[in-house]
Structure 1
Amino acid sequence: MPAPQLPAIHDLKSQAKRLRTVLNEWHQPASHSAALELMAAQYGYRDWNSLHAAAGKSEPPACPYQVGDRVTGRYLGQSFRATILTVQTRSDPTLFRVTFDLEEPVDVVRFDSFSAYRKRISLTLRKDGTTMEKTSDGQPHMVLDLIKV
């Protein structure tokens, strides 16, 4: 019987890729399509096409960002107010490429004798409003307040 909660398709493909790598390391050569078929069997489906169809029925997370939204947050530790100019979905449905037009430019350099101000910033955000990229002190490059202004 198929599993009630399936991973997203990109996660299933990643699992198949890791499986294929391990099998090849164990001198059990497997093609990518064979690894996909093995993933289907693991989840209780007769073949990859059936698993793909079942996993594709799950709804991707809704994008919390909309063009024209006015938002606040911190970028490189500096508070900002901005308008969202563009939103693009990524191959990973939990990530979104977002372009912001800041009301006031922020200095993107932390050096006393040099500055570089940016008014327009494009980065990839998680659904929670943070970037995966972090500064040297471990803080996300951007943290959005989830309350729109």
Structure 2
Amino acid sequence: MSHALPTITEAKQHAKRLRTQLAHKGTTISHSSALELVAHQNGFRDWNTFYAAMGNRPPEGWTLGGRVQGSYLSQPFEATIVAVEMLRPGWFRLILDLDEAIDLVTFDSFSNFRKRIRGTVGPEGISRERTSDGVPHLKLNI
């Protein structure tokens, strides 16, 4: 196989799209059948083999020294990854060194600037933790 393998998240998204397209054409298949079809399209005998070949690697760019963009507590940033650790498949703890410090306080009376942040994000680059209005603490553009 000469082409680069997708990430597990990309492969699962492909399976969802495939399932939706087939449903629009009148063919209903299970999600597991869609996963098997995606594995076959990529030259693997089944989903389990394909999953093992893809590994539990982070999305492209989520490596030591990689560059990311996103928002932290609704403040946009660009950063360099200084540490990355897989916690479980699809979930990664990242330490980011921001290019510019961001002010995390919305009051005018004081500020709290951060240049380095730590967070855990899932397969979509979004943290599970949320602010009181439901916005993810950390959101990476992927």
| TM-score normalized with structure 1 length | 0.55
Shift of 1:62: 2.3
Residue 78 in 1 paired to residue 50 in 2?
no
Residue 61 in 1 paired to residue 56 in 2?
yes
How many pairs align? 90
Once the two structures are superposed, residues 101-145 of structure 1 have per-residue CA deviations (whole angstroms, 9 ceiling, x without a partner) of 000011122222121110000111112111000011101011111
RMSD across aligned positions (CA) = 1.9
Identity of aligned residues (%): 45
Instruction: Point out the structure with max Rg over C-alpha.
Output: 1
Once the two structures are superposed, residues 49-74 of structure 1 have per-residue CA deviations (whole angstroms, 9 ceiling, x without a partner) of xxxxxx9xx63532111111111111
Structure 2 spans left out of the alignment, 5+ residues: 1-47
Residue 102 in 1 paired to residue 98 in 2?
yes
Structure 1 spans left out of the alignment, 5+ residues: 1-54
Distance between the aligned counterparts of 1:97 and 1:124, measured in 2? 4
Once the two structures are superposed, residues 9-33 of structure 1 have per-residue CA deviations (whole angstroms, 9 ceiling, x without a partner) of xxxxxxxxxxxxxxxxxxxxxxxxx
Aligned-partner SS, 1:115: coil
Please, which of 139, 143, 148 is the counterpart of residue 135 of structure 2? Answer: 139
